[in-house]
Amino acid sequence: MPWDLKEAVGIVVGLTGLAASAVATIRYFVKKEQIEGDLKRLQERYDELDTRHREILQAMGTIKLSGTAALLLKSEIETQLKLVMTALQAKASSVLVPLPGKTPTDLVFLAVLGPAAASIQRTTVPINKGISGFVFAHGQPYLALDVRNDKKFFQGVDRLSSYTTEDILSVPVIHGGVTVGVLQILNKTEGAFTQQDLQIAQRSADLLASNVAQFLADPNNFELLGFAPAERMREGTVLICDLTASSLLLDTLNFASAMSLMNAYLERSTDIVMHAGGTVDKYIGDGAMFRFNVPHEIPDSRRQALRAAVQMRDGFQKQKDAWTAAGIPVTPLFTRLGIATGPLREAIVGHPQFQSLTVVGEPVVLANNLCSGAPRDRNVILVTPETIRGLENEVQVKPVPQVLLKKIKGEQTSAYELVSL
C-alpha cells in the first residue's frame, strides 16, 4: 500500500509537470505569435516610413529646380486624384497633360497612382493615339469596359509598365473652355464602371481643372516631371578641361595634398570662367565642364569662352611653376581644353533624388572628344571651326594635324589649336 501511494504521488507529480510544460508551451507559442505579429506590424510601419522618406527626398530634390509652388500644385492634384480613385473603387488613376510647345505632340503624366506608377511617371503618350489622345483632342468623355477589344486603346504604356489595363473611364479636364488635360480611372475593383461613375469623374475633373491650368501656365514647372521646356534650345559654347597624369599626384603625394592641388586647379579655372560670364555645368574628376550663353545670354559668348580658355591655360602654367619651385613633383602634369559651339538644350538628368541640370547637344560631345584626344605632353587648347568662325582676325590658331584628328573620337574632320587671342 505504501508503494501504491508513492506511485500515485509520482503520477500526480508527473502529470503536474506535464501540465506545467503544456502551459509553458502554449504560452511560448502565444508569445511567439504576438512577437511575430509585432514584427510584422513593425516591418509594415518601416516600409511605410521608408516609402515616405523616399518621397520626401524626391520632393527635396525637385524643389530647387521647379520651386515650391509647382510642388504644392502637384501635391494637391495627387490628393484629389487619390480621392476620386477611392470613390470610384479603382485600382489606378492618372492625370495627363500636354508637353509645352506651339503644337503639342505628346501627353505626359502630371500625376499617376497605382501599381505601375513608378515605371510610367516619366513616360510620354503620343497625343494622336490612344483613348487619352482621343479625349484630349475631342474634349469628350470615353468609357471603355473592355479595352482589349477597343480599337482606340494604346497598348504602349501597358507594355512598358507590365500592367494590365482592363477598363478605362476617361474624361477631359477643361478650364476656361479649353481642354488642359485628361483624367483617367482604371480597373474598377468590383463590377464595371457605370454612367454614375462617369458623372463623378466629370465633377472631379472640374475640381482638378484650376490646379492643372495653373501648373501648365509656367513651362518651367515641367522640370518637376523630368522634362525641360523645348524653348530652352540656344546657341552656346561648351568648354571642357582636365589634367593629364593627375593619378601620379596620388602616387607621389599623400591623398590630402594631391586633392588640394586638384582643387586649386579647379578653383582657379572656375573663377576665370565665372568672371567671363560662363556657368559651371559639372565637375568630372580632375576636370570640369563649363558652358557659355546657356541659360544666361552673354555678349560675345564665343570670344569670352576663348579668352577664358587662354587664361586657364596660362594660369595653370603659373600654378605649375609655383608648385615646382616649392618642390612638388608636378613635371608630368598638363592641362587640356576642348571647346565647341552649337545648339544646346538644358535637361534634367539622373535619379529623382540626385537630379542635376545640365546641357545636351553635339557641342558637349565634340568638346569632350577634343579634350580627351588632345596631346598629353603639353598645355593645349583645341577648338572646333564653329567656335572661331568670324573671329579669324582676332585669334592665332593652327590646324590640328590629320594624324591627331584620326585619334580623336567622333571622326572630327577639322579642328584648330588655339595659340593666343
* pLDDT tens digits, one per residue of 381-411: 999 999 999 999 999 999 998 878 877 776 6
Of all residues in the chain, what percent carry a pLDDT higher than 70? 82
What SS3 class is residue 179? strand
Residues 6+ apart with CB under 8 A from 147: 131, 153, 165, 166, 167, 168
Greater confidence (240 vs 28) lies with 240
Q: What is the pLDDT of residue 64?
A: 45
CB atoms within 10 A of CB 82: 13
Give phi and psi for 43, each to the nearest 5: -65, -40
Residue 222 pLDDT level (bands cut at 50, 70, 90) = confident
Greater confidence (31 vs 289) lies with 289
Rank 165-169, 293-297, 378-382 by mean pLDDT and report only the highest: 378-382
pTM above 0.75, yes or no: no
Mean pLDDT, residues 164-193: 93
Is the predicted pLDDT of residue 171 greater than 60, yes or no? yes
Q: What is the pLDDT of residue 293?
A: 95
Minimum mean pLDDT range among 185-199, 256-270, 309-323, 405-419: 405-419
Q: What is 233-420's CATH number?
A: 3.30.70.1230
Mean pLDDT, residues 259-275: 95
DSSP secondary structure letter of residue 412: -
Mean pLDDT, residues 254-272: 94
- CA–CA separation, 123 and 374 (whole Å): 39
Is the predicted pLDDT of residue 285 greater than 80, yes or no? yes
Mean pLDDT, residues 88-93: 93
What is the distance of C-alpha 76 from the center of its chain?
22
Average pLDDT, the chain: 85
Q: What is the pLDDT of residue 25?
A: 65
Residue 123's nearest CA partner among 154, 146, 90 is 154
- CA–CA separation, 356 and 61 (whole Å): 9
Greater confidence (146 vs 50) lies with 146
Which listed CATH number (3.30.450.40, 3.40.50.720, 3.90.76.10, 3.30.1330.10) goes with 68-220?
3.30.450.40
pLDDT tens figures, 333-382 = 999 999 999 999 888 777 766 777 889 999 999 999 999 999 999 999 99
Q: What is the pLDDT of residue 22?
A: 62
Mean pLDDT, residues 181-204: 92
Helix (H) or strand (E) segment spanning residue 143: strand 142-144
Rank 16-25, 316-325, 412-421 by mean pLDDT and report only the highest: 316-325
Q: What is the pLDDT of residue 357?
A: 81
CA end-to-end span of the chain, whole Å?
125
Q: What is the pLDDT of residue 339?
A: 97
Is the predicted pLDDT of residue 288 greater than 80, yes or no? yes
Half-sphere exposure of 53 (CA within 13 A, CB side): 6
Q: What is the pLDDT of residue 60?
A: 47
CB atoms within 10 A of CB 140: 12
Q: What is the pLDDT of residue 61?
A: 46
Q: What is the pLDDT of residue 262?
A: 94
Residue 108 pLDDT level (bands cut at 50, 70, 90) = very high
